[in-house]
Structure 1
Amino acid sequence: EGILKELGQPTLNIEIDRERAARYNLEMDEIQILVADAIGGTPITQLLEDEKSFGIAIRLQEDHRNDISDIKALLIDVPGGGRIPLSMVAKVKIGDGPFFIYREYGKRYIAIKFSVRGRDLGSAVEDAKFLIEKSVRLPPNYSIAWDGQFNQMKEAQRRLMIIVPLALLGIFFLLLSVFGNIRDASIVLINVPFAAIGGIVALHLAGETLSISALFGFLSLFGIAVLDGVILISFINKVSSEDESQMKDAMVEGASLRVRPVLMTALLSGLGLLPAALSHAIGSEAQRPLALVIVGGMITATILTLFVLPVFYAWLRSRKGGNLYTV
C-alpha cells in the first residue's frame, strides 16, 4: 500500500534567482544553456568511421561534474564584459529527485496503490472515490484516474452485459429447437429467474456484491437450471402425449419420477462448491462469489423446478389449448 517509490535518486537542483540574474542583465535561458553544456554536454561535430557516425560533445570532466563546488564555480559571461560564478545567480544543492518518472500517454503521473482486503473491489473503489471527492481539492491541471484491477473489472462487466443477454437468447433458441414450440421453451426459461433469486439471496446473506466472479457463477447457474427444466418438461410431455386427459397425473408423475435426476444435478453442483462458498482463506475472494451464486441458486432452482414449474406448465397449456405456437 502507499505511493509507488518516486523519490530517492540523488539529484542536482539548480534554482535560478531571477532578481539577481536581472541585475547582471542575464536571461534565464543563458544560464540554463551554460549548465546544460557543462553537465550534459554540447554536440560539436561528428566522427565518421567505417560508414558509422558518432556524435562528439564537450562537457566538464566527470570529477568536476560530480563536485558541487566546481559546478557552483562555473563562470558565466556577463553582458558588457566580465564573468561571475553560477553561485551568484543560482542556488546549487544536492537533493532527492525522482527515482523514476512515470509517464502514460505523454503525461506524468504518481501511482498510488491500496489493498482491498476484506472488501470487494467495486465497493472499495466507490467509497474511496467518494472520500477523495469530499476531502481533496486538486490543483489546476491535476486529475485522478482509477486504473489497475478496477479498470479490468469494469471492462469485464461491460463485456458480460453483452454476453449474458446473448447467452440467454442462445439458450432460448436451443430450447426452441428441442421442444419445437415457444410455449415449452418459455416455460423452461422461467427457471432462470428462479435460479437467480437464490443466487442473489446467497450473495446478500454473505455480504458479497455482484462481482465478475459472481456474474460467471450466474452464467453457469443458468445452464444448470435450464438443464433441470428440460429434464422435467420433456418427461411431462412424453407422459401427457400418451394420454392427454391425464394431464394432472402426468405432471405429478413427472415431478415425482424426475426428483432423483434433478436432485443429483443440484447436489453435484451445490455440494461440490459448498467448501468454496464457505471459505475465507487467501484467494477465496475470487472463487467465493461464484460458489455462493451456484449453491444458493441451485437450492431455489431445485425447489421451484419440482413444485412451481409444473404449475406454470399446466396453466399455460390450459390457456393455449394444446400445442399452440408450434414452430
Structure 2
Amino acid sequence: MELFIFLNTMLELNIKNETGRLRAVVLGTAESNGPTPSIEEAYDPKSIEHIKAGTYPVEADMVKEMEAVAKVFKKYDVKVYRPEVIKDYNQIFSRDIAFVIENKLIKANILPDREREYEAIKHVIEQIKSDNVIQLPEKCHVEGGDVMPWNDYIFIGTYSGKDYPDYITARTNTDAVIAIQELFPDKIVKSFELRKSNTEPKNNALHLDCCFQPIGTNKAILHKNGFLVESEYEWLLNFFGKENVFEITKDEMYNMNSNVFSIAEDVIISEQNFTRLNTWLREQGFTVEEVPYAEIAKQEGLLRCSTMPLIRD
C-alpha cells in the first residue's frame, strides 16, 4: 500500500514545447527578497542601472506582482509549486535554476552564489524519478532562459566568444549545447549566438528569451539586435514566417516584451504595459491575461524567467 501511494505522488514531467496546455509549474517567490544588492552583487546591467538610480524594486511590490501571476494560474487550474523561502535571498527567477525537456529535469549549472535556490525546490525534485533528474558536467554552463523546447527542435541561446569568462551576462556555453544534443539525440538542437554587454542593458540579451519566444503554434516574438549573427536571426524569421513574427524594438526588448508566458496555445500572460504587443496578440486571436510585472522587469527578467513549467499537455 505504501508503495502504491508513493508512485501516485511522483511527478510525470512532460514538456515538448513552450505553449502546450500548462498543468504544473514552479513559480518563484519574492518573499524575504532581502535588501537592495550592492553593484558588486548584481548579475546584470539592468539591475546595476536601477541600483545606481535608486529605483531598484522593493519586496512588497514584487510580492504583489508574483501573486497576480499565481492568481492567473489558479484561474486556469494549474498546479503551482513555490520554493521554500530563504531569508533575505532572491528566489524570483526559477527558470534560471533548472528546466524540463520531455520527461527530464536538467539542473542548471548556475552561478555558485545561487546554489541555494536549487536546494529550495528540493520538495519538487524529490517527486521526480531520480533517473529523470540530470546534472550536467561542471564545464557545461547553462540557464533555463536560454533553452526552449519547440517540438522537434531545442532552441538554445549561447555565447562562444573567447571573452566568454569576461561577461557576467554570458550564461550558456558551447559545452552545454553539445551536452543537451547528446541527451536528446532525436531532437534538432539549434543554437543562437546572443549579444552580450555587462554595462548596457539595451545591447544585452541576457538569455534567448530576452529577444525571442515562440507563441501559439506557429508564431514568435523577435528582436533582431539580440542576435550577434544576422543569418541566425534570419533563420528564425524564415522558420516562423515574417507574417507570423512580432518584431519588438530596442526599448521593448529592454522592457522584456519577449518574456511573456504561455498557459496554452491560445492563452498568454503578459505585462499590462505592453500595449503594442498585447493589441497584436489579441488581433491574432490570443486571450491575453495582463498582470503588473514592471518592478520585477527591473532585474532583467519577466514572466518566463520566473516560471519553470513541469507538465504541459
Normalised TM-score (structure 1): 0.22
In terms of Rg, which structure is larger?
A: 1
Higher strand share: 2
Higher helix share: 1
Normalised TM-score (structure 2): 0.22
